[in-house]
Amino acid sequence: MLDLFTDDTRRSPFALYARLRERSPLLHEPRADLWFLFDYDSVKRALQDHAVFSSVVTRPGGRTPDWLLFKNPPQHTKLRGIIMQAFTPRSIANLEPHVRELSRGLLAPLVGRGEMDVVAEYSSQLPTMVIAEMIGIPVEGRARLLGWRDIMLNLSHTISEGEEAERARARYVAMRDEMRAYLPVILEERRRAPKDDLLTRLVEAEVDGERLDEREFIAFFELLLVAGTESTMDLIDNALLCLLEHPDQLARLRERPELLGSAIEEVLRFRSPVQSMYRSTKRAVELNGRVIPAGKFVLPMIGSANRDPGHFEEPERFDIGREPNAHLAFGHGIHFCLGAALSRMEARVALTDLLEMLGDFRLASDAPWEPREAFHVHGPKRLPLRFEPGARR
């Protein structure tokens, strides 16, 4: 197996990506029968060409979850149309003042201490609180959501066989049983007494007279827990890592806060929270002079595509003012991330508050940071910071 999965590589896989992209942008790993795509054009095609690259994937270790992310048209079209009625740009924009309130409430007791673990005490908490409130989950249920999210993330271990894959599958089956007992209760509550929350809008949304059934609700609930928390958490943490590694860009952002939007886009490109996606070939397809046979498991490497010098000028340079910046961090085509606007908004709120409320911050340890357990995501498991106590402003 490639050393893409070691901790050292997952902290910084980009030099290896560059070597593989230059030598073999299409790479077959024969032991697990995995096909890796490393260049921008191939990754973009795999993400958008659903006539050739299926989103319904059977991995070497089993089938992917029954999520919108892993569906093809026409079923994908119907489900996305229903969900988009509840997940509107207006509903996301209306959340921003409350997200800022939640953010400052989390940071207020921390700013006087002079140190914090950003992951445990802030970046994992904020998106979980936002999703829980959007759905209408009470405060006492949020720890359960985090546990379920981690179980689903660890399904990435099932792309190959082994004890870890078996444990991940067993934990997921047990979690599904819990969720099947939990979710119908709150769905029935919304049907009897609608509220101004995402769950009620999902209950009421329909396309051509069809609404989500219970199985589809559970599948979207799972996806929302993973995509609605993990990517935002890693985006916030990776932004801090990028700024600490590039103090000139941190100083530039402090002087020109209007660059925050483009800085977030550059973090998404430079340290993409999702490094790879799953696809399978519906038929044989030629890419970069080689043929991937039909029915093969394909990994489009988004993190590599976003550093491809054939598409980005000086891709190894972190530039918070980069323009244009057509990265693939949120996917492309019909599967472009439904929660992209929410993630960007939360990151904008979080980074504004962190830069304003923390004095000069730095890593609390020289030890290499530990990567997240799921191999397809990129970000630290812990991020201890030291900073000058008190608000910078």
CATH number at residue 346: 1.10.630.10
Calpha distance 356→106 (Å, rounded): 14
Tokens standing for residue 14: 């980009």
Calpha distance 33→20 (Å, rounded): 17
- Report, as an integer, the average pLDDT of 248-262: 97
Q: Which residue has the tokens 């030890």?
A: 367
Residue 55 lies in a domain: yes
Give residue 216's pLDDT.
82
Greater model confidence, 14 or 333: 14
Dihedral over alpha carbons 383, 150, 347, 109 (to 10 degrees): -60
Tokens standing for residue 337: 């991330």
Question: DSSP state, 156?
Answer: G
Q: Are 263 and 36 in contact (CB under 8 A)?
A: no
Residue 229: phi and psi, rounded to 5, are: -120, -50
Calpha distance 25→21 (Å, rounded): 4
Amino acid at 118: V
Residue 316 lies in a domain: yes
- Report, as an integer, the average pLDDT of 76-93: 78
Give the best-scoring range by mean pLDDT among 161-165, 261-265, 333-337, 366-370. 261-265
- Report, as an integer, the average pLDDT of 64-88: 77
Residue 313 lies in a domain: yes
pLDDT band (50, 70, 90) for residue 31? confident
Calpha distance 292→297 (Å, rounded): 9
Calpha distance 316→184 (Å, rounded): 48
- Report, as an integer, the average pLDDT of 358-362: 91
pLDDT band (50, 70, 90) for residue 40? very high
Q: How far is CA 302 from CA 29, 74, 189, in A?
A: 18, 25, 40
Asked whether the predicted pLDDT for residue 13 surpasses 90, the reply is yes
Q: Are 76 and 196 in contact (CB under 8 A)?
A: no
Asked whether the predicted pLDDT for residue 115 surpasses 90, the reply is yes
Taking alpha carbons only, the member of 127, 133, 167, 164 closest to residue 149 is: 127
* pTM reported for the whole predicted model: 0.90
Residue 322 lies in a domain: yes
Calpha distance 62→40 (Å, rounded): 28
Give residue 331's pLDDT.
94
Residue 393 lies in a domain: no
The tally of CA atoms less than 13 A away on the side-chain side of residue 372 is 26
Tokens standing for residue 299: 């990994």
Query: Per DSSP, which regions of the chain are E strands?
Result: 26-29, 34-37, 53-54, 58-59, 62-63, 115-117, 279-281, 285-287, 290-292, 297-300, 361-363, 384-387
Q: How far is CA 265 from CA 67, 179, 270, 384, 389, in A?
A: 26, 34, 9, 24, 29
Asked whether the predicted pLDDT for residue 156 surpasses 70, the reply is no
Q: Are 47 and 41 in contact (CB under 8 A)?
A: no
Asked whether the predicted pLDDT for residue 393 surpasses 60, the reply is no
pLDDT band (50, 70, 90) for residue 91? confident
Greater model confidence, 129 or 267: 267
pLDDT band (50, 70, 90) for residue 45? very high
Asked whether the predicted pLDDT for residue 161 surpasses 70, the reply is no
Q: How far is CA 310 from CA 25, 45, 156, 285, 302, in A?
A: 12, 15, 29, 22, 14
Give the best-scoring range by mean pLDDT among 164-168, 196-200, 357-361. 357-361
Give residue 392's pLDDT.
54
Q: How far is CA 112 from CA 183, 294, 358, 388, 390, in A?
A: 39, 58, 9, 8, 5
Q: How does the average pLDDT of the chain come out, rounded?
A: 88
Give residue 159's pLDDT.
56
Give residue 144's pLDDT.
81
- Report, as an integer, the average pLDDT of 315-341: 94
Q: Which domain holds residue 200?
A: 3-387
Share of the chain above pLDDT 90, in %: 54
- List pLDDT tens digits, range 180-216: 888 888 888 888 998 877 788 888 877 678 888 888 8
Nearest-10 crossing angle of helices 163-192, 214-227: 120
Give residue 25's pLDDT.
95
Asked whether the predicted pLDDT for residue 138 surpasses 80, the reply is no
Give residue 244's pLDDT.
97
Query: Per DSSP, which regions of 38-114 are E strands?
Result: 53-54, 58-59, 62-63
3-class DSSP state of 160: coil
Calpha distance 114→390 (Å, rounded): 8
Residue 392 lies in a domain: no
Residue 102 lies in a domain: yes
The number of domains in the chain is 1
